[in-house]
C-alpha cells in the first residue's frame, strides 16, 4: 500500500495473518522447528518457510521514485511474525539503504519468532539503524504468548511491547502479563476479563458510536472466550479498537526522528 501526498510519501508493506481455513498457513504456525542463521540466531522454522522468497526489488523501485519516501512494515498474527523475519533478513543481508528508509515496524498479536541470540541481533540492528519496532499486544491474546518462553523451547520477544488492557488503556511494558498464558493462578482473572469483554461488545457502541458495533460472529467468539480466554482477544477487532481508542498515548505517537540528521 502507498500513502502519497504533497508533504509525505509512505510505502506500507503489510503481511497477512493466518486465514481460518488455510491449512498451509496453519502448518507454518504449528511448525516450531528451528532455522538457524549463523551470526543471527535461531528463528521459528515455520515462519521462515511462510516468508518464502519475498523480494525487496519492488519496494526499492517505489522508494527510488522519491528521496523522501519512507517504509513501514506491519502485520497481524502470522503476518506480524513475517514482518519481524522480513526485517531480520534485510538486516542479515545488510540492506543499509532499505533499512535507512525503514521508519518503523508495527506488529499486532505477533507470536515469538526466535531465540535469545536472534533477539539480541535484532535489538542491536534496531539501534544501529534507528528503527522503531512496536509490538502491540491486547489483553490476554493467546498468540503473543506462544511458542513458550521457557527452558525447553527458548523462544523470546524483542522490540517495544505496547500492552492494552480491556479498557484499551495502553502502556509500555517489558513483557505482556502472564507471558506463557497457561498459568493456574490466572484462570479466574482471565475468565472475569472475558466476561467484561462480552459485556463491552454490547455497551461500547452506546459510548463510542455504531462504528464500534460488533457482528454476531464476534459476539459468538466473545462467548467462546468465557471457556477459552485469549481466543477472541486475538481477533483484529480488538487491535483496531485499541489503536483507535487508546486512552494513554505512549511515546510512539510522537513524531519520528529525522534519520537524515
Going along the chain from its start, the domains and CATH numbers come out as 2-183+233-245 (3.40.50.1820)
Tell me what pLDDT residue 35 has.
Answer: 64
The cell for 242 is 485499541
Active site (annotated) includes residue 28 = no
Tell me what pLDDT residue 107 has.
Answer: 97
Tell me what pLDDT residue 247 has.
Answer: 63
Out of 77, 91, 164, 201, which one is annotated catalytic?
A: 77
User: What 3-state DSSP class applies to 171?
Assistant: strand
Out of 44, 76, 129, 234, which one is annotated catalytic?
A: 234
Active site (annotated) includes residue 141 = yes
Cβ-proximal residues to 110 (8 Å cutoff; 6+ apart), any chain: 75, 76, 77, 80, 81, 83, 84, 135, 143, 144
Tell me what pLDDT residue 28 has.
Answer: 45
Mean pLDDT per 10-residue section of the chain, whose length is 261 residues: 65 75 46 65 63 65 84 93 90 88 95 92 95 96 91 87 93 92 90 96 95 94 93 94 76 54 49
Cα 1 from chain centre: 18
Out of 141, 157, 164, 238, which one is annotated catalytic?
A: 141
Q: Which of 77, 6, 58, 68 is nearest to 239 (CA)?
A: 77
Torsion from C-alpha of 218, 219, 224, 230, nearest 10 degrees: 60
Do 87 and 113 form a contact (C-beta atoms < 8 A)?
Answer: no
Active site (annotated) includes residue 91 = no
Instruction: Look up cell 500492552; give the residue.
Output: 163
Do 179 and 145 form a contact (C-beta atoms < 8 A)?
Answer: yes
Tell me what pLDDT residue 149 has.
Answer: 87
Do 164 and 170 form a contact (C-beta atoms < 8 A)?
Answer: yes
Tell me what pLDDT residue 51 has.
Answer: 61
Amino acid at each position: 500500500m502507498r500513502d502519497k501526498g504533497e508533504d509525505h510519501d509512505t510505502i506500507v508493506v503489510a503481511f497477512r495473518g493466518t486465514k481460518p481455513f488455510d491449512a498451509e498457513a496453519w502448518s507454518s504456525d504449528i511448525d516450531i522447528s528451528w532455522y538457524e542463521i549463523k551470526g543471527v540466531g535461531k528463528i521459528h522454522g515455520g515462519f521462515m518457510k511462510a516468508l518464502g522468497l519475498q523480494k525487496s526489488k519492488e519496494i526499492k523501485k517505489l522508494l527510488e521514485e522519491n528521496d523522501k519516501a519512507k517504509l513501514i512494515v506491519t502485520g497481524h498474527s502470522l503476518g506480524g511474525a513475517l514482518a519481524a523475519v522480513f526485517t531480520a533478513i534485510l538486516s542479515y543481508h545488510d540492506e543499509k539503504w532499505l533499512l535507512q528508509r525503514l521508519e518503523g515496524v508495527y506488529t499486532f498479536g505477533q507470536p515469538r519468532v526466535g531465540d535469545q541470540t536472534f533477539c539480541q541481533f535484532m535489538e542491536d540492528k534496531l539501534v544501529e539503524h534507528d528503527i522503531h519496532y512496536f509490538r502491540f499486544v491486547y489483553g490476554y491474546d493467546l498468540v503473543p504468548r506462544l511458542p513458550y518462553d521457557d527452558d525447553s523451547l527458548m523462544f523470546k520477544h524483542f522490540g517495544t511491547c505496547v500492552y492494552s488492557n480491556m479498557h484499551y488503556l495502553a502502556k509500555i511494558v517489558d513483557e505482556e502479563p502472564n507471558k506463557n498464558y497457561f498459568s493456574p493462578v490466572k484462570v479466574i482473572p482471565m475468565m472475569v476479563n472475558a466476561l467484561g469483554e462480552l459485556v463491552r461488545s454490547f455497551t461500547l457502541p452506546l459510548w463510542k458510536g455504531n462504528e464500534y458495533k460488533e457482528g454476531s460472529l464476534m459476539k459468538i467468539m466473545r462467548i467462546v472466550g468465557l471457556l477459552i480466554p485469549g481466543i477472541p482477544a486475538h481477533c483484529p477487532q480488538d487491535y483496531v479498537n485499541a489503536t483507535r481508542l487508546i486512552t494513554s498515548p505512549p511515546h510512539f505517537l510522537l513524531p519520528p526522528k529525522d534519520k537524515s540528521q
